[in-house]
Amino acid sequence: MNLFLIALCVSMFIFIFVCVCLLYTKKKITVYATIAKTNKEMKKGLMFIKHRLPKNHGMLFMMPSRNNHLFWMKNTFIPLDIIFIDKTSIKNNFTIVGVHKNRQPHDKNLKGIDKKSDSVLEMNGGWFDSNDMRIGDIIDMRYKMVL
């Protein structure tokens, strides 16, 4: 089991961005993600983005409840890794409970992982494997402002 540290950096421009610092035994990764927490933001997600996201950029879905969340790729033009994470009993700690790797654009099939989660991180397709992440890895998630 690997331990990650995620420091979330938030910016108050058009979108709210998070800086996710993943720290575990192999390396530290900083990820910038838009936070989707309203129904409108969650429904749109990364739809209509026509080019791969910049390196280590993505979207973090802060779900209103812990559930088996389903995602599709309607109107999504880039392949995505969809990473399902769930809180642990330790403050700021989350566990990676599942992943859909390289979901293909325009796939209208709703897919979940048959496990409950309370947050989902979408990144460019291939990101999960290229950073040697695994299901069961522990993430320490912290929020920090980005100006």
Give the other-Cβ count within 10 Å of 131's Cβ: 17
pTM of the predicted model as reported, rounded to 2 decimal places:
0.83
Q: For 24-38, what is the mean pLDDT? A: 72
List domains and CATH numbers for the chain: 35-138 (2.60.120.1140)
Residue type, 87: K
Per residue in 80-136, pLDDT tens?
Answer: 999 999 988 877 778 899 999 999 999 999 999 999 999 999 999 999 999 888 999
Q: At residue 5, does pLDDT exceed 50?
A: no
pLDDT of amino acid 14: 38
Nearest to 59 by CA among 68, 78, 67: 78
Grouping H, G, I as helix, E, B as strand and the rest as coil, residue 28 is strand
Per residue in 35-64, pLDDT tens?
Answer: 887 888 888 989 998 999 999 888 989 899
